[in-house]
Copies of this chain bind each other. A is one copy, B any other.
Amino acid sequence: MRTNIPEIIYGEYKTLEQTLELTTKLLDKHPRVVVSRSPFYKELNEHFKDNFPVLWSVNATVIGEMPQPKGKVLVISAGSADHPVTYECEVVLRAVGVEPMVFEDRGIAHPTRVLEAIKAGVEQDVAAVIVVAGMEGALAPFVSSLVALPVIGVPTSVGYGFRAKEAALTSMLASCAPNLTVVNIDGGLRAAVVAALIAKNR
């Protein structure tokens, strides 16, 4: 099974050696490998870039040829501080084979900018929406109330003060928006895989 989901290596606690070895082994049998949260994302790029296309970033790196995209997913983020997680969504959506439409810096302080992003996505018939937001995370219920599509909230650890890292998660879970589900804090990868499964199977 799992025919749609690429091989994923959780890089956070692995040494560079372990990660290189494991990635190489998987690339033998699979067209591409996603390495998430590796502290060695730069070294991975250096090592593989001559033999494989590499799409690298702080949170997720894809090594190998991308599949032909099918379907679209809208990605909206609240602020530029959420960029690493937003970009993680983008990279992983491509790795699963879906075209991301990304709009950044669309906090609820600017409702018209949020509406623009949604309008653009709906016009392109996106299959799902990913909302990336830290702090109080209010963007997720706001977007959810404006589209009749599955929305996946990715609370980020951006913020300071009381429950700084958990506020967005708390608020997304508590929301009464009926079309909103949530992933772990900074869990861009999971949001992207689920959104992509929705889009590809439409």
Contacts from A to B (Cβ < 8 Å) = 1-5, 8, 10, 12-14, 18, 37, 79-81, 107-111, 127, 135-138, 141-142, 145-150, 152, 157-164, 166-187, 189-191, 193-194, 197-198, 201-202
Contact = CB atoms under 8 A, between A and B. Distances in A.
Given A111-B111, A162-B185, A1 B197 contact: no
A199 to B, nearest CB: 10
Contact of A170 (B8, B12, B13, B167): B167
Contacts of A191: 181
Contact of A189 (B10, B138, B148, B178): B178
Given A146-B1, A162-B166, A135 B189 contact: no
A185 to B, nearest CB: 4
B158 A109 contact: no
Q: Count copies of this chain in the complex.
A: 8
Nearest to A78: B176
9 contacts: A12-B158, A12-B160, A109-B141, A136-B170, A162-B166, A169-B173, A178-B190, A178-B194, A180-B190
Contact of A136 (B1, B161, B174, B194): B174
Nearest 6 Cβ contacts at the A-B interface: A13-B81, A167-B174, A138-B138, A161-B184, A171-B171, A161-B185
A171 to B, nearest CB: 4
Contacts of A107: 176
Contacts of A175: 135-136, 138
A80 B198 CA distance: 30
B168 A174 contact: yes
Residue of A149, A152, A162 ringed by the most chain B CB atoms within 10 A: A162
Given A167-B174, A173-B182, 16 more contacts: A3-B148, A5-B148, A12-B158, A109-B141, A110-B145, A136-B170, A136-B173, A138-B138, A138-B175, A142-B142, A149-B197, A161-B174, A163-B174, A167-B173, A177-B190, A180-B190
